[in-house]
Structure 1
Amino acid sequence: MEGILERNIQGLRAIAAYMVVVHHILDTFANNLGFHHPINNMRTGGAGVDIFFVISGYIMMLTTSDRPIGPKRFLYNRIIRIVPMYWLLTIVALILIAAGFKMFGQNPIDVKRILTSFGFLPYFGSSGKVIDPILFPGWTLNYEMMFYIVFALCLLRHDVKFRILSVCCILFCFWLAQVYIDDPLVDYLGADVIIGFAAGIMLWRVSRHNIVSPVIAAGFCLLGVLALVMLDYPIPFPIPHARLIVIAGALSIVFGAVCLERHGIKIKDGWLMHEGNASYSLYLIHPFVLQFVAKVAKVMHFGGGYLASFGLAAVMLITSGVAARLLYSKLEQPLSEILKLSRRKANFVRT
């Protein structure tokens, strides 16, 4: 799948992943190191998740629209992409926690939480609130897997228009149920973030025949960035379902990037492309890196001044990137190739 992805989409995957890393660096400063800076409350980086969801919807259509693919093969392709690395690093997190390391918050580790973490299912605490998986970035993967199951069911008919309409309708029904039904599970399944998948699917449909000029495309990117930055400015009145504004901003950025590529304006085969390839490894490994660097900073009695914090953030960011590239090249990519080869061999034996 990676070979046919558009270059600008790959670049956006890298940017979105680093946005999430920065968001978690600020969270680490506030909750692990006790650094009290106004920027600790910035939420813009968290919108990297919404960019990922829009991209995910777009990619699923991009990779299935021009060739017949059944639900079984589709799910297998997604499982070998997502599950092995996530399970492996979840096991590592469990081992570290069992060894006495306080990682990823103080929520209790019990059998139910372990099973839901490995099963990509929500874990509801005693208060009815959803508790993150053991490896906390996995909360987004729960939604990804839900989306893949819905998408796979809609592959039962090899009709692209049916696929677009059915997937978007199912996601919208989930969201609508959450608006009108007060239930923890319904609230979880219909969370605003799932609209990002539908937005990505519609983006694929629109971008096939409606491409704006490079200037307007750049304007869409800028407008999207401004929409995300607005998250960090106080609004004098409450906005219901404010996350939809974030999704609209993410959609605007991805649409602009796609249009620019259609006009030949795309990133080169360099650092950003390689970071896009390793974005999933970065997403999974960075919590370990941030925890490790934070513990070292504590032992060294690292100060919380602005200059020192900036330097520590740079160390965390660079170390996360290096660890991700190593994880991708030494484990994720070889493991993926082995699993793909196993699939091809199984198909060959059956035929």
Structure 2
Amino acid sequence: MIEKGGVGAIKAAVRPVGAAPATRTLWTVQALRGAAALMVVIGHGQSAAAGIVTAAGGYFARSTLLPWGAGVDLFFILSGFIMVHASARLFGQRNARAEFLRRRLVRIVPLYWLVTTLFLALLAAATMKGGDPFPDAGAILASYAFFPADTYGDERLFPVFDLGWTLNYEMFFYALFALVVVLPRRAALATVGGLLLALVGIGTIVPGPSALWFWTRPIILDFGLGLAVGALTGRGVTLPPIGRILLAAVGAAMLFADPFHIFDGAAGVTVANDWPRVLCAGFPIAMLLAAAVLGPEPGMPRAMLPAALVGDASYSLYLVHPFALILTEKLAQKLVFVRMAQGWQLVGFMVVVALVLAFAVHRWIERPMTAHLARRVVRGSPSLPRRVAVHSGE
């Protein structure tokens, strides 16, 4: 494909599914999306590999080179940025709220529901064999509705498909954004930023675990940081090259340092969604994003094409990678050479399988399904003026 269509064809290929037709793709943001997904996959892969190696009597030392769990923070910050970037022609329009919600629901819901249903089928099969307990109907409905619930009675607000906890935050943020998108851009961004701060303040007095407690954790400020960077780009703010380099260097140093050591805990430990996470991951990542976008978008070098393509399939990669982990664990139970493999060999295998699955799902399920639903949803809906800010798009 590279030889036939060249870099331009690939740049067209990495446009996010469901992007507004009048917006342009930022390949640097796409590459960051791919990095976010890979960070999550590698982090989870290390936990799965540690379980396999430990069960075989060995020891696996996880890497703390990067705060792998910060991939989620990167996703949230990019989400805030992209909402500003992609909604340039929606701000201040009378029917903007409905179009925004249609676009977001078409983009997020179908694949998540499909993956949740597949996971429930696997869980049902395991339950019949005496494995994990099957969740009740209320927990299943809450999962499909993106409502935080104590699925297994352990006071942990995870949906049936664990990874959906991040989408519970995403959908909540979309609801907040939909409330304000009918306002002019500056007023809308100021209002949603104020709402996020107010919610975190409310969270200091809300007992948990509960849905309100979940939605008022400081991690929601990651979306606000992305909004702030998006607002700067929308206003045409740029930094000189040396300023962007210094900002990136400081952000990277802060991220790698992880001064509160919140991302190097024991394997499988969930990082709390509180202030230390925002300080150690949110702010440094926002600095890296600002360094990437507060200036001219560079041409896409060929060496970065794979990263941009992974970014385009990042949603599929995020959702399907647990199945690569499950497959590896099952193979380890049945095949000696898999069970006795080195930890990082297992992680590498999981990453490769996850990427293959993700590209297949993105190519043959996510993209055609989203495009089909987008056409059906847009048909008959009132059109909006094609007014696009110079520095906006998705």
Task: Give me the TM-score of the superposition, normalised by structure 2.
Answer: 0.79
Look up the SS of the partner of 1:122 in the other structure.
coil
Alignment correspondent of 1:57: 80
Alignment correspondent of 1:78: 104
Alignment correspondent of 1:337: 371
Identify which of 358, 377, 383 aligns with 1:324: 358
Identify which of 146, 151, 156 aligns with 1:120: 146
After superposing the two structures, state which structure 1 stretch, 77-86 or 123-132, moved more: 123-132
Identify which of 20, 25, 29 aligns with 1:9: 29
4+ runs deviating over 6 angstroms: 40-43
CA displacement, residues 159-198 of structure 1 (integer Å, 9 cap, x when unaligned): 1111101111111111111124334334311112100111
Does 2:196 match 1:171?
yes
Look up the SS of the partner of 1:124 in the other structure.
coil
Q: CA deviation at 1:215?
A: 3.1
Q: CA deviation at 1:70?
A: 1.3
CA displacement, residues 287-312 of structure 1 (integer Å, 9 cap, x when unaligned): 0111101211232235778x722222
Q: CA deviation at 1:121?
A: 0.6
Name the structure, 1 or 2, with higher relative contact order (CA <8 Å, separation 6+). 2
Does 2:314 match 1:272?
no
After superposing the two structures, state which structure 1 stretch, 335-344 or 118-127, moved more: 118-127
Q: CA deviation at 1:74?
A: 0.7
Partner amino acid, structure 2, of 1:198: G
In angstroms, what is the RMSD of aligned CA positions?
A: 2.9
Identify which of 332, 356, 367 aligns with 1:297: 332
Q: Distance in 1 between matches of 2:66 and 2:138?
A: 31
Describe the shift of the 1:112–1:178 C-alpha distance in structure 2 as closer, same or farther (beyond 3 A).
same
Equivalent residues in 2 for 1:63-212, closer than 5 Å:
63-67=86-90, 68=93, 70-100=96-126, 106=132, 108-124=134-150, 129-157=155-183, 159-185=184-210, 186-207=212-233, 208-212=235-239
Q: Distance in 1 between matches of 2:152 and 2:325?
A: 29
Tell me if structure 2 keeps the 8 A contact 1:33–1:298.
Answer: no
- Alignment identity in percent? 27
- Higher share of residues assigned helix: 1
Aligned residues: 342
Tell me if structure 2 keeps the 8 A contact 1:54–1:197.
Answer: yes
Q: Distance in 2 between matches of 1:321 and 1:58?
A: 25
Q: CA deviation at 1:151?
A: 0.4
Q: Structure 1: which 5+ runs fail to align?
A: none
Tell me if structure 2 keeps the 8 A contact 1:278–1:328.
Answer: yes
Tell me if structure 1 keeps the 8 A contact 2:180–2:191.
Answer: yes
Q: Distance in 2 between matches of 1:87 and 1:9?
A: 26
CA displacement, residues 136-166 of structure 1 (integer Å, 9 cap, x when unaligned): 1110000000000110011233x11111011
Tell me if structure 2 keeps the 8 A contact 1:224–1:250.
Answer: yes
Describe the shift of the 1:125–1:317 C-alpha distance in structure 2 as closer, same or farther (beyond 3 A).
closer
Identify which of 40, 44, 55 aligns with 2:67: 44
Q: Distance in 2 between matches of 1:84 and 1:233?
A: 38
After superposing the two structures, state which structure 1 stretch, 49-58 or 68-77, moved more: 68-77
Describe the shift of the 1:42–1:193 C-alpha distance in structure 2 as closer, same or farther (beyond 3 A).
farther
Describe the shift of the 1:7–1:178 C-alpha distance in structure 2 as closer, same or farther (beyond 3 A).
same
Q: Distance in 2 between matches of 1:347 and 1:175?
A: 36
Q: CA deviation at 1:93?
A: 0.5
Q: Distance in 1 between matches of 2:259 and 2:161?
A: 26
Tell me if structure 2 keeps the 8 A contact 1:123–1:132.
Answer: yes
Q: Distance in 1 between matches of 2:313 and 2:259?
A: 28
Describe the shift of the 1:120–1:191 C-alpha distance in structure 2 as closer, same or farther (beyond 3 A).
same
Describe the shift of the 1:319–1:152 C-alpha distance in structure 2 as closer, same or farther (beyond 3 A).
same
Tell me if structure 2 keeps the 8 A contact 1:221–1:252.
Answer: yes
Q: Distance in 2 between matches of 1:308 and 1:161?
A: 53
Q: Distance in 1 between matches of 2:132 and 2:124?
A: 13
Describe the shift of the 1:123–1:274 C-alpha distance in structure 2 as closer, same or farther (beyond 3 A).
same
Q: Distance in 2 between matches of 1:212 and 1:87?
A: 42
Q: Distance in 2 between matches of 1:125 and 1:282?
A: 24
Q: CA deviation at 1:31?
A: 3.8
Does 2:335 match 1:309?
no
